[in-house]
Amino acid sequence: MFRILEKVSMCLSLSALVVAGSVALAGDFAVPKGDVLLTASGAITATNKDGTLQLDLDQMAALPQHSFTTSTTWTEGTPTFQGVLLKDYIAATGATGTTITLTALNDYKITMPMADVKDDGPLLAYLMDGKPMSLRDKGPVWMVYPYDANADYRTEVAYARSIWQLDRIEFGE
């Protein structure tokens, strides 16, 4: 009987952790203390400043992290990129809607359907080979796909969506 109660207690504790993790992922964010890397707006539920969600490097690093090594048409060799998968960023913002508009520092922008976001990419990379990316290196955030791992990402559409110096994402209906 004690073992059954112990297992039930463990399951309840694990459930609480999972729920707490989910709430934290789509929960409240403090106002950034460092330089803002990325600002989300539009149809989002998580905000921290004037109806937007602004994240600095530490806040981006606190989200689920992923990395992959891939060649690109814009870099030499096969750098390793680290950051947050776009799907995890969407979950963190509590975004809804059907479109995502991504805008770079120079106001270059692309709009893509939310339905095009896959489990394996793209990645909102803020580290390349373990180092923050400068503006010269396409930073501070570069949306990168695992080009070498999936032929679907070696297309003109994926290349056009590989927006660097990304600083704003708007979620629309």
In DSSP notation, 6-58 reads: HHHHHHHHHHHHHHHHHHHHTS--PPPSS-EEEEEEES-S--SBTTBEEEEHH
Q: Is the pLDDT score of 28 beyond 90? A: no
Give the confidence band of 8 by pLDDT, cuts at 50, 70, 90. Answer: very low
Residue range 57-88, pLDDT digits in tens: 999 999 999 999 999 999 999 999 999 999 99
Q: Which CATH architecture has domain 30-172?
A: Alpha-Beta Complex (3.90)
Domain boundaries, the chain: 30-172
Average pLDDT over residues 103-113: 96
| Weakest-pLDDT range from 9-23, 90-104, 152-166 | 9-23
Length of the chain: 173
Residue range 122-156, pLDDT digits in tens: 999 999 999 999 999 899 999 999 999 999 999 99
Which pLDDT does position 27 carry in this prediction? Answer: 55
| Weakest-pLDDT range from 20-24, 54-58, 87-91 | 20-24
Alpha-carbon Rg for the chain, nearest whole angstrom, is 18
